[in-house]
């Protein structure tokens, strides 16, 4: 029987009703007591690492979680992480970069309603996460609503319904039917994982709206080492408002700029229109292609935690990690 570590970080799944709204208060042991049938699937130990609403999750907590897994990696066959849904996709992406090529499963899950509610998705999601972890499903993934999503491809696309997460520009790894994992894809792995312990949290994000000027970009670039710009459609920047001069000055100062798209599916392609072609071919900004915004954020933090060399940043950004980027010109 597989030996699994349950790591609690809080979230809706562990929440109870308080005078000021739902707040995470239950421990991992209390969660586990709600699904006694798990003892037939695997042997479980519990660690209560955090007890946060996932809105409060930050890069420092990602490092703490990765360190927790690293310290116990040799003692367990896999890891289940309970987490709030609002930032779960960011954490899954971050763990995909901090723990690369893991042959052991690291499965995140949570719920849209607390485990103590009558109409809750908590119990099925948690049970499914353990079922996935007890199978040959290497790497970081999310198990939610009977679906399994690669850690670098998940995005929360519904705020209330049980089908909270979608897999963006990549198929589901598998589905669960009647408690059985039907695996479609086996993620890449190696004989042993590679752990990292550094992130640079100074990564900003600017979402364009019609009429956005360069002042917002200047403000973010002054305070960050990298800026992700969520543009429209396949990508580009307004030709008025001084954006091109802003980008040129920032890159000359050693800043990293990445263009992505606000559109969830199919990715960017800066070469299609004049407003994007110049950015890539003259100014040399990086392009996110089919990556999720969550993955771009986490990957930049991971890369800048390792190096500031421009050529190496570009090489690492375009090097696929856990199938995070598939569509590049190379």
- Measuring CA to CA, how many Å separate 180 from each of 80, 88, 161? 17, 24, 23
pLDDT of 282 strictly over 80: no
- Measuring CA to CA, how many Å separate 81 from each of 72, 77, 100, 176, 250? 14, 14, 17, 18, 38
In a domain? residue 289: yes
Q: Indicate the number of domains in the chain.
A: 2
C-beta separation of 54 from 86 below 8 A: yes
In a domain? residue 329: no
- Kindly state whether residues 185 and 211 are assigned to the same domain: no
Q: Give yes or no: 12 in active site.
A: yes
C-beta separation of 95 from 140 below 8 A: yes
Residue 209's domain spans which residues? 203-318
In a domain? residue 62: yes
> Which of 12, 82, 87, 133 is flagged as catalytic?
12
pLDDT of 121 strictly over 60: yes
- Please identify, among 148, 171, 195, the residue that sits at the C-terminal boundary of a domain: 195
- Kindly state whether residues 299 and 153 are assigned to the same domain: no
- Distance between CA atoms of 94 and 66, rounded to whole angstroms? 9
In a domain? residue 330: no
* Digit-coded pLDDT (tens) for 135-178: 989 999 999 999 999 999 999 999 999 999 999 999 999 999 99
In a domain? residue 324: no
- Please identify, among 148, 174, 195, the residue that sits at the C-terminal boundary of a domain: 195
Q: Secondary structure of the chain: what % helix, strand, coil (to 5)?
A: 35, 25, 40
In a domain? residue 127: yes
- Kindly state whether residues 65 and 178 are assigned to the same domain: yes
- Kindly state whether residues 179 and 253 are assigned to the same domain: no
Q: pLDDT band at residue 241, thresholds of 50, 70 and 90?
A: confident
- Kindly state whether residues 32 and 58 are assigned to the same domain: yes
Rounded mean pLDDT, 298-314: 97
pLDDT of 329 strictly over 70: no
- Kindly state whether residues 80 and 111 are assigned to the same domain: yes
């Amino acid at each position: 029987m597989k030996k699994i570590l349950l790591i609690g970080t809080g979230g809706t799944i562990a929440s109870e009703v308080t005078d000021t709204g739902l707040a995470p208060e239950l421990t991992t042991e209390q969660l586990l007591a709600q699904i006694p049938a798990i003892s037939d699937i695997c042997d479980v130990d519990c660690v209560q690492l955090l007890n946060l609403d996932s809105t409060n999750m930050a890069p420092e907590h990602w490092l703490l979680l990765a360190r927790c897994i690293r310290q116990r990696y040799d003692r367990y066959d896999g890891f289940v992480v309970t987490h709030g849904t609002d930032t779960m996709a960011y954490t899954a992406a971050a763990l995909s970069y901090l723990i690369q090529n893991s042959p052991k499963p690291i499965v995140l899950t949570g719920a849209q309603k607390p485990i103590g509610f009558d109409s809750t998705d908590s119990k099925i999601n948690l049970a499914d996460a353990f079922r996935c972890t007890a199978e040959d499903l290497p790497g970081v993934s999310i198990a939610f609503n009977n679906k399994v999503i690669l850690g670098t491809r998940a995005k929360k696309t519904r705020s209330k319904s049980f089908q909270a997460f979608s897999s963006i520009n990549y198929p589901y790894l598998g589905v669960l039917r009647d408690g059985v994992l039907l695996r479609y894809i086996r993620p890449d792995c190696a004989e042993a994982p590679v752990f990292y312990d550094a992130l640079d949290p100074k990564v900003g994000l600017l979402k364009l709206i019609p009429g956005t000027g360069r002042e917002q970009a200047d403000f973010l670039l002054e305070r960050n080492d990298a800026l992700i710009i969520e543009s429209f459609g396949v990508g580009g920047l307004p030709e008025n408002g001084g954006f091109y001069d802003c980008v040129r000055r920032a890159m000359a100062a050693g800043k990293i700029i990445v263009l992505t798209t606000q559109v969830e599916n199919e990715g960017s392609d800066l070469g299609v229109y004049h407003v994007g072609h110049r950015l890539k071919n003259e100014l040399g900004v990086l392009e996110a292609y089919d990556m999720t915004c969550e993955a771009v954020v986490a990957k930049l933090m991971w890369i800048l935690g390792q190096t500031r060399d421009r050529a190496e940043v570009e090489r690492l950004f375009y090097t696929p990690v856990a199938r995070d980027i598939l569509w590049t010109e190379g």
